[in-house]
């Protein structure tokens, strides 16, 4: 246990942190300096525009559009030729394929069903080999690009 003299020589962390914030130009009443959080419970540094409902709605709408663009940009539907599930696929090159499975497709995939029946976890499988063949077939038929020409979701 620290003695009184050792505690007296140990800097007060809160005091030190406040002095550093002041040095950087932050007000001591700033939420971050006092350790309190906004009423919404959000840790985000971005403003929430609570005083401007129209702007808040526009930001939410723009965020949802960005999210959908990031999740779906360049994806094409591919049907498995074996069990007929449909997944969303984007080829980024010969060795890189992005596949987005829906819950329904994962449930209906015959290979994954066989794995579950054998007590295995399909989530641990690298892929479904029959779907991989179907994706190769879609590329060969011209239904799916070998290298996606879709623009990167990027900034716009």
**CB 44, CB 59: distance < 8 Å:** no
Token duo for residue 99: 């596949």
**CB 82, CB 69: distance < 8 Å:** no
Hunting for tokens 């007296």 — which residue is that?
8
- pLDDT for residue 30: 47
pLDDT tens over the chain, length 156 residues:
555 555 555 567 777 777 777 777 765 554 444 444 445 555 567 777 888 889 889 988 988 888 888 777 888 999 999 999 999 999 888 888 989 999 999 999 999 999 999 999 998 888 899 999 999 999 999 999 888 887 776 655
- pLDDT for residue 66: 85
- pLDDT for residue 48: 75
Q: Any idea where the domains of the chain sit in the sequence? A: 1-36, 73-140
Coil, strand, or helix at residue 104?
helix
- pLDDT for residue 33: 41
Nearest to 72, CA basis, from 91, 85, 59, 90: 90
- pLDDT for residue 86: 96
Task: Compute the distance between CA of residue 61 and CA of residue 64 in angstroms, rounded to an integer.
Answer: 5
């Amino acid at each position: 246990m620290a003695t009184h003299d050792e505690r007296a020589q140990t800097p007060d962390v809160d005091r030190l942190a406040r002095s550093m914030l002041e040095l950087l130009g932050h007000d001591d009443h700033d939420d971050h300096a006092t350790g309190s959080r906004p009423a919404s419970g959000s840790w985000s540094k971005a403003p929430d525009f609570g005083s401007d409902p129209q702007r808040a709605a526009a930001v939410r709408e723009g965020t949802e559009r960005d999210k959908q663009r990031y999740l779906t940009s360049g994806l094409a539907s591919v049907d498995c030729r074996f069990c007929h599930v449909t997944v969303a696929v984007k080829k980024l090159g010969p060795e890189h394929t992005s596949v987005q499975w829906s819950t329904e497709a994962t449930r209906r995939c015959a290979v994954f069903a066989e794995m579950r029946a054998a007590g295995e976890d399909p989530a641990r499988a690298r892929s479904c080999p029959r779907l991989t063949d179907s994706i190769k077939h879609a590329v060969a038929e011209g239904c799916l690009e070998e290298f996606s020409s879709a623009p990167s979701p990027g900034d716009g």
